[in-house]
Structure 1
């Protein structure tokens, strides 16, 4: 199993990249279907990234208790 922290960072980076592409797309061609798709993907990636980072800290805290 991959480490939750590295997965979280990866998803956060992907969220930033999708956000950047969405901003570029709005500046070039306005609000279209592809822009909304990029925003949805960025939102999902940010949510997954934060969830993985929270899991990492919960596992770390659980290991300290043992």
Structure 2
């Protein structure tokens, strides 16, 4: 059984929020260090993947509706 793109999209967005929280905590405790940049990079990639998955889901639903 495969996961739908919308499920994967929300999962990636949740990870993006989590890494953003980690980045904010890291910056507030010790400033902009290497780990802060890693957290920001991971959050950016996760948000991008999440948006891409949600858009893929909408495109699939749109093509299914046009076939009917």
TM-score bin (small chain)? over 0.9
The aligned residue for residue 64 of structure 1 is: 65
For structure 2, the 5+ residue unaligned runs are none
CA distance in 2: counterparts of 1:64 and 1:8, whole angstroms: 21
Q: CA RMSD in A?
A: 0.5
Who is 1:45 aligned against? 46
Offset at 1:2? 1.2
Separation in structure 1 between the aligned mates of residue 66 and residue 31 of structure 2, nearest angstrom? 52
Q: After the TM superposition, list the runs of 4 or more consecutive aligned residues in structure 1 that deviate by more than 4 angstroms.
A: none
The count of aligned residue pairs is 66
Give distance in 2, aligned partners of 1:56 and 1:8: 9
Residue in 1 aligned with 2:24?
23
Q: Secondary structure at the match of 1:61?
A: helix
